[in-house]
Amino acid sequence: MENLIRKLTETYGPSGFEDTIRAVLRAEVEPFADEIRVTPLGNLVAVKKGRGGEPRRMLAAHMDEIGVIVTHIDEKGFLRFTPIGGVSPLTCLGARVRFENGTLGVIGVEKREDPQKAPTFEQLYIDVGATGRADCPVRVGDAAVFERPFAAQGRRWVAKAMDDRIGCAVLVETLRQIEPVAGDVYFVFSAQEETTLSGAMTAAYGIEPEMAIAVDVTGTGDTPESRPMAVELGKGPAVKVQDAGMIAHPRVRDLLVQAAEAAGVPYQMEVLERGTTDAAATQLVRSGIPSGCLSIPCRYVHTPSEMVDREDVEGAVRVLLQALRIP
């Protein structure tokens, strides 16, 4: 999966600007899907037909990533910006960003009265090498993502946009390996998770599945003096119990536990105090869809260098394949 993950993480696709990453994903899944469609909001939906009957299940991984968007260009050609999704000013200083047209920018900071305090977004700017508004290669409303290449360090993979291109890679690999199961399976690569969850919500409304499982990253508690959390890199994918936006449906939670045990995959139970996933949106659709989440442990979430473990990722594929075999 390494080459696939490299391709996905290095592709441009901030929330609301998913055209490029959607085209890359479409090329990956088209040979294995029975149907492909793009929804009005920009989700990519790949359908694998079953042997007939129920249940109709939906797997969702969001293809958008965090980024920044230009709000103003001053007379010297410096850009002011605001975040797209959960970006921290602490991860911005000196960072490089790339716009859809290929323009590279460097994030700088103004002189501050108290340099010991973290800067605010109002104190940050992007330098694209322009000398004024006239030769500035980007416009207000243009979006950029962090520029950082994929790297493999033993079992550990590091890249920007692991959240949630790693979930997309898990879905692609699951689609490649899946054999026909009882009901149709809808693989949804959702848009705008980092901002509104609207992609998964509208996709679920159209599909109306009997069950929905999100595949996304989660934080860990295994770094020095980290906030205590019973999730570690390399100990297996995590079955979500609760996060800040939802409580997993017990039937989905138990299905994932059963599947992990049947597949012989080590797993962890996850309670995430901050953040949520597409499952928080799918469970609210129509009369309510039983929803849960299989999580990939990830260090340094929402930074330009997110880290996952290869065996956790490969284990997640095996868990999903086993879960889909269970009626």
State phi, psi for 206 to the nearest 5 degrees: -75, -35
Last residue of one domain, picked from the residues 100, 122, 146: 146
84 and 55 together in one domain: no
pLDDT score of 112: 86
Return the closest-CA partner of residue 218 out of 199, 233, 197, 200: 233
**Rounded distance between C-alpha atoms, residue 224 and residue 273, angstroms:** 19
Both 317 and 246 in a single domain? yes
Q: Is residue 154 included in any domain, yes or no? A: no
Give the domain-ending residue among 146, 181, 203: 146
Please indicate, yes or no, whether residues 125 and 255 belong to a single structural domain of this protein. no
Instruction: List residues with catalytic annotation.
Output: 193
- CB-based contacts of 251, cutoff 8 Å, min separation 6: 211, 290
Does one domain contain both 137 and 167?
Answer: no
Q: Tell me: the pLDDT tens digits for 30-47? A: 999 999 999 999 999 999
Asked, for residue 153, whether it belongs to a domain, the answer is no
How does pLDDT run across 7-34, given as a tens digit for each residue?
999 999 999 999 999 999 999 999 999 9
Whether residue 59 sits in one domain with residue 179: yes
The predicted structure's pLDDT at residue 32: 97
**What is the number of structural domains in the chain?**
2
Q: At what angle do helices 162-177 and 2-9 cross, to 10 degrees?
A: 140
164 located within any domain: yes
Predicted pLDDT of residue 327? 79
pLDDT of residue 168: 98
For residue 239, what are the CA distances in angstroms to 150, 175, 213, 269, 317?
26, 20, 11, 5, 13
* H or E stretch covering 206: helix 198-207
Residues 77, 56 within the same domain: no
Q: Find the CATH number of the domain harbouring 181.
A: 3.40.630.10
In angstroms, rounded to a whole number, what is the distance separating the alpha carbons of residues 312 and 316? 6
Please give the pLDDT value at position 57: 97
> Could you tell me which residues come within 8 angstroms of residue 224 by beta carbon, excluding any fewer than 6 positions away?
none
User: Could you tell me what percentage of the chain is helix, strand and coil, using 3-state DSSP and rounding each to the nearest 5?
Assistant: 25, 30, 45
Instruction: Select from 63, 132, 136, 62 the least CA-distant residue to 99.
Output: 136
Is residue 190 located within the same domain as residue 227?
A: yes
Domain range spanning residue 285? 2-65+160-325
CATH number for position 112: 2.40.30.40
Distance CA 313, CA 135 (A): 44
The last residue of one of the domains, among 115, 146, 177, is 146
In a domain, 81, yes or no: yes
In a domain, 78, yes or no: yes
For residue 151, tell me if it sits in a domain: no
Q: Per the structure block, which two tokens stand in for 316?
A: 């997640």
Nearest to 327 by CA among 255, 254, 250: 255
Same-domain status, 87 and 213: no
CA triple 245-246-247, angle to 5 deg: 150
Q: What DSSP designation does 184 have?
A: -
pLDDT at 223: 95
Examine residue 312 and state whether it is found in any structural domain, yes or no. yes
In a domain, 233, yes or no: yes
* Continuous segment of H or E residues that includes residue 26: helix 19-29
Q: Is the pTM of this model over 0.85?
A: yes
Residues 54 and 77 placed together within one structural domain of the fold: no
- Beta bridge partner(s), residue 82: 69
Q: Are residues 140 and 234 in the same domain?
A: no
Per-residue pLDDT 10s for the chain (327 aa) are 999 999 999 999 999 999 999 999 999 999 999 999 999 999 999 999 998 877 999 999 999 999 999 999 999 999 999 999 999 999 999 999 999 999 999 999 999 888 888 899 999 999 999 999 999 999 999 999 999 999 999 999 999 999 999 999 999 999 999 998 989 999 999 999 999 999 999 999 999 999 999 999 999 999 999 889 999 999 999 999 999 999 999 999 999 999 999 999 999 999 999 999 999 999 999 999 999 999 999 999 999 999 999 999 999 999 999 999 997
User: Do 170 and 122 fall within a single domain?
Assistant: no
Report the pLDDT value the prediction gives residue 51, as an integer from 0 to 100: 87
Does one domain contain both 115 and 198? no
